[in-house]
Amino acid sequence: MKGVFEVSGASRYNDKIAVRYHFPLKYLSQAQKCVGDWIVYRETRAEYGRMAYIAVAHFDRIDPDPETPGMFYARMSQFLELDQAVSYRDETGRFAERFLRDMPDAAAAGRSLRGRSIRTLEGSDFAAIVNAGLAATFDPANARRLELDEAHADPATRALLAGPLSERRIEQVLMNRKIRDAAFRGLVLTAYDNTCAVTGLRIINGGGKAEAQAAHIWSVADGGPDEVQNGIALSATVHWLFDRHLIALNDNLELLVSHNRVPEAFRQLFPHAGQSIRLPANKALRPKPEYVARHRARFAGFADG
């Protein structure tokens, strides 16, 4: 069964929502109903939260917290940030979740949500939330920018994008690598203003497609999530170097270069020693240190960096 998991900037729990969600015993029975299915994360009002659905993930299993009796971890995979936060209540006042829509008094919504940080969600509501959250990815006007046009996407993927709204279609979308890459690309390039973080080059062709690409820092093949903080905008050549660990980042987000393996012509475009790469203005979108460290551990020139 689908579910909603609430997240808060003021949380005292050991959450890393791309891979795990920490919760107490009182939510165990509700969590068990959602194992093996998809969930959406909803951000609460705390710490200036948006009171909106912000991401989706597949809920794989529940593990007891080995260090704290009565606490559990929901283990997640296939995490994907939504293109845009989806309000729990739209402009007409309609709630996204049925149990809220069924309340006789809409003003009681806040009270009804207390103590329900994990709850089940109807499949049709799940589909509607994710569909709204991926609106930019689904928009045909963005197909070329996101590489979902005929030149890049296979017919089956394009048919899926154009299909009618249903729970099954949304599940297929969330498992489609091409569509996931497109959503990730849109988020990362927007965060970096379509500019290569290393060279500073910002080239937009006549069709509105940026020359920069969205690179995963912790690779998907190794389990890395599709979240902005695991992404960096890089030009094609720099992306190639980054994926082969010929360049990396230190803890201050300064560039490390395997000098004996990267041609001088490329190095002339790189930031000077002690200068960080170009980063999103919004600090919340900058690379997570743990992802940077994972990538750096395989850096070809780390020993002499």
**Structural domain boundaries in the chain:** 3-133, 186-296
Contacts with 83 (C-beta within 8 Å, 6 or more apart), sequence order: 133, 134, 135, 136, 137, 183, 186, 187
Q: Report pLDDT for 166.
A: 96
pLDDT tens digits for range 261-275 = 887 877 788 888 778
DSSP 3-state assignment of 122? coil
pLDDT band, very low/low/confident/very high, at 304 (cuts 50, 70, 90): very low
- Could you give the maximum distance between any two Cα atoms of the chain, in Å? 70
pLDDT at 49 > cutoff 80: no
- The tokens describing 119, both together, are 């709850």
Cβ(8)–Cβ(49) below 8 Å: yes
pLDDT tens digits for range 78-90 = 999 999 999 999 9
> What is the rounded distance in angstroms from the CA atom of residue 284 to the CA atom of residue 15?
16
Q: Report pLDDT for 150.
A: 92
Per CATH, domain 3-133 is 3.40.640.10:
no
Residue range 68-93: mean pLDDT, rounded = 95
pLDDT at 208 > cutoff 80: no
For residue 272, the 8-state DSSP code is P
